[in-house]
Structure 1
Amino acid sequence: MTQHKGEIKFDLHTHHERCGHARGSIRDYIEAAIANGLQVIGIADHTPYFSYDKDQAFPKIAMGKSEFPEYVKEVQALKEEYRGKIEVLLGIESDFFPEHVEHYRTYFDRYPFDYIIGSVHQVEGVSIFNKNRWKGMSEQQKVKTKETYYRLIEHSARSGMYQILGHIDAMKGFYPEFSKIETEAVEHTLKVVGEYGLAIEINTSGKTKYVGGWYPTDEILELANHHGVKVTFGSDAHDPERVGDEFDLVAKRLKEIGFKEWCYFRQKERVSVPL
């Protein structure tokens, strides 16, 4: 771990046109970061669906497998080009499928990623953002679904593949009542995340969904602070205009909750930044 002296603005979660549902090139996001006063910008587009035979299994969700080496190459070239103007980090946002962890790991091990974000986007084969999954569910079923979600997040922490866990209550995105479903699974998961030394991101893209606001809730952040969980920042920008979105507001809130620092990652080593 290294310690950065003084304030620094960073955003570790940005996408671009390769994933099929974001606007703009990687260069557009880097330029937006410079314009918005950031010193560090991480590119972390969605991983291809490595476990499918087809090169491009889901064109509007993630890049094709053949695009993956090109993605890495482009970020590395831009890293060099922008050296001295802004630090560009090579990241990726990886879906977490417990049965495919080792398969994904073989792809990640080939390249010099600065960090990998592990995100659970599916629970029991259904997207966490599917508005209809909750219809007709009993309270008991809702609790079970939430516990399954957090069990997957816990498994992702234990996998050793990630430095950051993405949007750890994003299931509330189109179902705000999710936050009120009572279960001890949330705190249990945060304890594990703390033990394994991972960071969770404060992700400001919740404002683009029904729920508004950020992932995760203040209650989760208070628990995270209690259990020594590290925190980082990601706008989850799918549009260059959102790079660094609400960074200063998040920093202020984290200080109020009691955090003293947050972090980013370079060559998978944590760089701590005072709040």
Structure 2
Amino acid sequence: MKFDLHTHHFRCGHADGNIRDYIEAGIAAGLSVIGISDHTPYFGSPEEQPFPHIAMAKSEIGNYVEEVLRLKEEYARKIDVLLGIESDYFPVHAEAYRQVLSRYPFDYIIGSVHSVKDVSIFNKRRWKGLSEAERIADKEEYYALIRESARSGMFQILGHIDAMKGNYPAFSDIPAAEAIDETLRVIAENKVAIEINTSGKTKLSGGWYPSDSILERALHFGVKVTFGSDAHTPRRVADEWDDVAKRLKEIGYSEWVYFKNKQKVAVPL
């Protein structure tokens, strides 16, 4: 059984296509389940859409939910369409996000850290001129935020947990084994899943998130895993699904999961 829980569309301002395009792409890829999970609006500002090329406008979230639910019904005999959303995790704004998101019947919410010390994790310039100690501190802060997001109770899935390597491949070589192990332990304790996200191929790092070494440690700690292409164009729906399934079995996983009505559904590998 194939599924993909991480897809975007035009509302976020940096993806192509509409929701129907992604559903049709999922059917063509042989999916049984497709999750629609566009970026939340930015709730840390009173502005309607402070970042139009990053997140949808506040007024669009209701339209988004309504459209997904309508298409879920329309496609019920062809594919199970799930209502998801990808939410940033900002500690200072967490309660604002929690309150708004609780109003809607999401099947799952992906929690993603996209910013550390108020700088995008994908900003290539953030690393320029930093000492080794400063690089380690930034990496440890990234994982501290991921741990906090896992403890928040807001999310069923944590998104791309080593994506800070995306435009800085040397990130993987910054020593932080203890921070990563502690993060995986916290994730397991809080019964949150992590995604294998294949969008790394669109960045300088290539490959997918997280690395095999993190997946091996995740298995050790009992962390559940799921799949998300993080497609920003319909042609990437289910991208590398078979390769990921094969690699997970090689690592030692016997199942992965998806979420419906915020309940975990196990799927044998």
* Structure-1-length-normalised TM-score: 0.97
The aligned counterpart of 2:48 is 55
Instruction: Look up the SS of the partner of 2:125 in the other structure.
Output: coil
Match of 1:233 in 2: 227
Task: Specify the code of the residue in structure 1 equivalent to 2:123.
Answer: N
Give the corresponding residue for 1:143: 136
| Amino acid across the alignment from 1:268 | K
Q: 1:266 aligns with which of 260, 263, 268?
A: 260
* DSSP 3-state at the match of 2:20: helix
Q: Which moved more, 1:100-109 or 1:261-270?
A: 100-109
- Structure 1, unaligned stretches of length 5 or more? 1-7
Aligned to 1:156: 149
Among 59, 66, 69, the residue aligned to 1:73: 66
Please list, as runs of the form range in 1=range in 2, the aligned pairs for 1:107-126 lying within 5 A after superposition: 107-126=100-119
Query: How far off its partner does 1:242 sit?
Result: 0.2
Per the alignment, residue 3 of structure 1 pairs with none
Deviation readout 1:94-115 (Å, 9 max, x if unpaired)? 0000111111111111111000
How far 1:161 sits from its partner (Å)?
0.2
**Counterpart among 106, 118, 123 of residue 130 in structure 1:** 123
Q: 2-side partners of 1:158 and 1:274: how far apart?
A: 27
CA RMSD of aligned residues (A): 0.4
Runs of 4+ in structure 1 displaced over 6 angstroms? none
1:3-42 deviation digits (Å, cap 9, x = unpaired): xxxxx10000000000000000000000000011000000
Deviation at 1:210, TM superposition (A): 0.4
Shift of 1:50: 1.2
Post-superposition shift, 1:221? 0.2
Residue 96 (structure 1) aligned with residue 84 (structure 2): no
2:13 is the alignment partner of 1:20: yes
1:257 aligns with 2:238: no
Counterpart Cα distance in 2 of 1:104 and 1:62: 13
Measured against aligned partners, the alpha-carbon deviations of 1:86-129 in whole angstroms (never above 9, x if no partner) come to 00000000000011111111111111100000000000000000
Structure 2 segments unaligned to the other structure (5+ residues)? none
- The answer to whether 1:209 aligns with 2:203 is yes
Cα distance in structure 1, aligned partners of 2:189 and 2:175: 23
Q: Give 2:91's aligned amino acid.
A: P
1:169 to 150, 159, 162: 162
Give the structure, 1 or 2, with the largest relative contact order (CA under 8 Å, sep 6 or more): 1
Partner of 1:219: helix, strand, or coil? helix
